[in-house]
Structure 1
Amino acid sequence: MASAPSPSEAPHSAHRRKKQPEQVRRALLDCTARIAAEQGTAAITIQAVAERAGVTKGGLLHHFDSKQTLLAAVFADLLDQLDREIDRSMAEDPKPQGRFTRAYVRACFADRPLGAQSLWAALAVAIVTEPQLKALWSRWLDARQSRHHDTDGDPAFTTVRLAADGIWLADVLEKENGLRRYPQSLEAELLKMAGG
């Protein structure tokens, strides 16, 4: 039977414990996203996220030094997911002209049925009020538009993307009325306008 570590050995063995920083960081991002989707961004506090993730406030602050940094990381993660969704949709679309626009429309309509439980809906107000999030969105959009300029630079495609944005914003502002006022069938209309 092994003997218990002496008091001088105990702290040393605790430091050898695996900390798995990437798993902790992922848990913090996921917990923040769930709180935002369930209760809105106002409910996101360092304490609430730390408790939900099962870490100390100090542990959270080791990864994200403020609520704004945490929100920006959640938003950047969401943009990465959007990138993957758009890339997957584009890979399945055989027609190059307007391919990005059609993928963008599909992405805008993807979580409409979730309504207020959509993470995009939860972060919408923060996008407008937080300069850091607004800058992340602008950089993402500029990069995508630049990358797909040859196939999607036509003003008609820009109009379709702006219409999709308008429906998304109406959903955010009108909550459950958005789907009634602007039915899901509008997705097919916008895709048709984009050459789909």
Structure 2
Amino acid sequence: MSDAHRKAKSPDQTRRALLDAAAALALAQGVAGLSLPAVAEAAGLTKGAVFHHFGSRQGLIDALCDDLIARIDTELEEALARDDGGPGTFTRAYVTCTFAPRGQSSPWSALSLSALTDPALARIWTGWLRARLTRHARTDDDPRLELVRLATDGYWLACLQGLPPDDPGALCRRLIAATRAFP
């Protein structure tokens, strides 16, 4: 047994380590590839710790999804707070969060990738996005903004397939500019 298994951790630290490991594994292998032993090993903990905190594989997946949505909401709220408002506010935040440089444990990447392969997660992601679009309908209910969001989704999908654009920053700036191209 490694020292990581013996090192005392608070319940919150243990849960966070397990969720972070699960997110990284889901990003690398999809939700179908998540196993409790693999999550425990990646977190440097025991399989018993996974069972203690989540009860089952499905409990872990549900908690992971809830955690990713909460992290996405936090990022999005921060981006919305930095925006100057007006038409396209939500779409600019969506673009900003999607293009923001971050590691492989990005909640956006992990949940989006997992939603591609798991219908239940796809429904959760779609429900979250629909709720956000309803909430921001006053500023973002325009087909031109929908095109910007779809192009943004195309960006992360292209990156996932190993075909990122030559200059992601320039693409991000063009998409942001497109959200401001209203009379």
The TM-score by the shorter chain falls in which range? 0.7 to 0.9
Task: Specify the alignment match of 1:5 in structure 2.
Answer: none
* Residue identity opposite 1:56 in structure 2: T
Aligned mate of 2:81, from 91, 96, 101: 91
Counterpart residue number, 2:41: 51
Runs (5+) with no aligned partner, structure 1: 1-17
Q: 2:131 aligns with which of 131, 143, 150?
A: 143
- Stretches of structure 2 that go unaligned for 5 or more consecutive residues are 1-7
Counterpart in the other structure of 1:171: 159
Contact 2:36 2:47 in 1 (8 A): yes
Amino acid in the other structure paired with 2:42: R
Closer, same or farther: CA 70–187 of 1 in aligned 2, 3 Å: same
CA contact (8 A) 2:36 2:50 kept: yes
1:74 is paired with a residue whose SS is helix
In 2, the alpha carbon distance for the partners of 1:135 and 1:155 equals: 22
Distance 1:123 1:97, change over 3 A: closer
Which of these residues, 159, 180, 183, is aligned with residue 195 of structure 1? 180
**Cross-structure match for 1:15:** none
Give the structure with higher Rg (CA).
Answer: 1
Alpha-carbon shift at residue 118 of structure 1 (Å): 5.3
Q: Provide TM-score, normalisation by structure 2.
A: 0.79
Which amino acid in 1 is paired with 2:16?
R
Query: In the alignment, is residue 69 of structure 1 matched against residue 55 of structure 2?
Result: no
Shift of 1:140: 0.8
Code of the aligned partner of 1:146: T
User: 1:55 offset after TM fit, Å?
Assistant: 3.5
Corresponding residue of 1:127: 115
Match of 1:101 among 91, 101, 106: 91
**If the length of structure 1 is used for normalisation, what is the TM-score?**
0.74
Tell me if structure 2 keeps the 8 A contact 1:101–1:161: yes
Partner in structure 1 of residue 149 of structure 2 = 161
| Secondary structure in 1 matching 2:165 | helix
In the alignment, the residues of structure 2 paired with residue 99 and residue 20 of structure 1 have an alpha-carbon distance, to the nearest angstrom, of: 39
Matched AA of 2:171: L
**Cα distance in 1 between the residues matched to 2:95 and 2:179:** 9
How many residue pairs were aligned? 172
The CA RMSD measured in Å over matched residues stands at 2.6
Q: Distance in 1 between matches of 2:41 and 2:61?
A: 17
Is the Cα contact below 8 Å between 1:100 and 1:148 reproduced in 2? yes
Give the Cα–Cα distance (whole angstroms) in 1 for the partners of residues 175 and 88 of structure 2. Answer: 11
Do the aligned residues in 1 keep the contact of 2:68 with 2:111 (CA within 8 Å)? Answer: no
How far is 1:51 from its partner? 2.8
